[in-house]
A and B are shown apart, each in its own frame.
Chain A
């Protein structure tokens, strides 16, 4: 039993943290989040240069980076590329920003999409074409291509759609978290290439689900840590009734709870990443546990930070609301906590 990242993984973390602190301070993230494109397209080259898309990186390395990008609230399609799209490319990350489109009228979740979707794929004389409305596609406006789950006469299959060519199909929605936007893909005979063996598509989507939930749990840990750091800093420096407000137990005990729930969630988030990385038999349980704990820690942690920070944290100019909205984004992904608790209950009570 050894529960620590390796020295190399810690070096990767330190380098990522330094780079993000330097290139993505809160005011730049805010500017990008409020801009039309939502990110800096030049950053993709920088990420490649940093090695964040190297095929040598394993899931634990991705977990470290997900936590750090969550902490900085890095806006850009890195997580969708390594967290959602990667398994469709045989575990070698695609070299351009890539998203995954799975939600439609036939599937609200990745789990459902692994068995059936509404979006249709038809083989024409000049190749495959997709039709149907894909919803809630993350970072579609910043991705160059999308992996789309569609159904053929034989079942579900994965297709690659060039979003630069099909940019008219992308309709960005107004969403809460403007650092990771959602879009609709309005496919109407849109050209697409088959991706991989269709017989493997359900297994690929199950792998995507595990990977995405583990990485988002780690991202949630980063979000929670940032919210806690902001609140602690405020509570040390804000004075009322001639004392720093962090000396009042109404504040300090609330923040102690945030710390506790953060550390408890951190443990199961890292463990889930490890389980996915080694394909442990307990992976589904580990992923459900981490998703419940980390999503909750992030949302309630941000809420406690909002309370501790008073009026200042309630303003648009303060970074806290962006963390809160990312926490809510994560919690909403693949069903809120109760969905995953229902899965755990089935294992505990129906066995």
Chain B
């Protein structure tokens, strides 16, 4: 057991920290955190700079354009990004879900076509899994993929797809054999979002932002060479994607919570509430939550690096992160006092916390509802009988 950086890791941390200092605008830390939240130009430019400097895909194999470094380097990257609230790489879905799935199940052509472009930000991926009638019960999905020669013809509707309005490609889960059993007969496809018959409609959500989209698919033709894995084995491929969504994102989520906690402390000081013992107790409790998540991620990562599978304790981090994030953002809004209702000009950080608070309510729904995640812990980790 040793939590310290190795000399090589410490070097890397130092280099990346100074790269961030040189590349972020001088007034970055004083900026209103709410400004530029949806500035895609900024995100693309930042992604390109990360890629050029070799900081995209640190733990991806070299043959796919990565640096081939151990996962600990990716963790250091995330910690340093969180420390200064640097922007995200734009390829959230590509890096975290599409890329690992293509690496695990894709053809050589698919790897060649997509992986390095995900890293450079040239290709943005979105995810087409959920449907209006298929949320937690994902395997009930009905988007059809009918074989027509060397193509599939796709008809159906996907929903809750972030980045779809700017995405070039989509990881799409379809039903290719309606006669097969529920978890069979699915096919995992790479869908060109610019193909005829693909229509994206932004879905305005509780925050007022169109962060998610609906995707309508009408007679869209997808070549058979875009199938990931075997035809009919889409469920198994999708599980790889979800494993990555629920597993390796733990560090990114904790890093984000770390940044928010720092802003909460700043907010308490700015609003004159930092001396209130009740506020202090709640901030300290949130700090404890953050630390438990951070070190549980480390423990799961050690398990992953030693055995190739993340430890079972990793199954709880998204669940408890989402609830901690809700408590944190609610407390932040509470600290604003009479300004809690004021957003935009004149509001504290122009409504940053109100946005974060509303957005956090989605955290216990997206990427596995808390109810589904508790079922998973109960049934697969502690071995209780199935609930249905």
Contact = CB atoms under 8 A, between A and B. Distances in A.
Interface of A: 1-6, 60, 228, 232, 235-236, 243-244, 246-249, 251-253, 255-257, 259-260, 263-268, 270-271, 274, 278, 280, 289, 292-293, 338, 341-345, 348-350
A1 B374 contact: no
Given A1-B75, A274-B3, A278-B2, 9 more contacts: A3-B299, A228-B382, A232-B382, A232-B384, A252-B374, A253-B378, A263-B312, A264-B292, A344-B287
A114 to B, nearest CB: 22
A100 to B, nearest CB: 27
Contacts, number: 153
Nearest to A296: B288
A91 B285 CA distance: 33
A251 B336 CA distance: 38
Given A256-B382, A260-B319, A342 B281 contact: yes
Nearest to B311: A263
Contact of A342 (B280, B293, B374, B381): B280
Contact of A255 (B291, B298, B382, B387): B382
Contacts of B280: 341-342, 345, 349
B295 A267 contact: yes
A267 B382 contact: no
A265 B274 CA distance: 27
A267 B1 contact: no
Contacts of B386: 247
Contacts of B377: 256, 259-260
A349 B269 contact: yes
Contacts of A268: 288, 291-292, 295
Given A236-B384, A267-B313, A4 B375 contact: no
A4 B302 contact: yes
The A interface, classified by DSSP as helix, strand, loop or mixed, is helix
Interface of B: 1-5, 9, 72, 75, 265, 268-269, 274, 277, 280-281, 283-285, 287-288, 291-293, 295-296, 298-299, 301-303, 306, 312-313, 316, 319-320, 371, 374-375, 377-379, 381-387
Contacts of B382: 228, 232, 255-256, 259
Contacts of B277: 342
B288 A271 contact: no
A252 B3 contact: no
A267 B298 contact: yes
A271 B268 CA distance: 29
B303 to A, nearest CB: 8
7 contacts: A4-B299, A228-B382, A235-B384, A249-B374, A249-B378, A252-B384, A267-B292
A1 B302 contact: yes
A125 B178 CA distance: 97
A6 B1 contact: yes
B265 A348 contact: yes
Nearest to B317: A264
A259 B3 CA distance: 24
B135 to A, nearest CB: 17
Given A264-B320, A292-B288, A293-B292, A4 B281 contact: no
Nearest to A63: B1
A4 B306 contact: yes
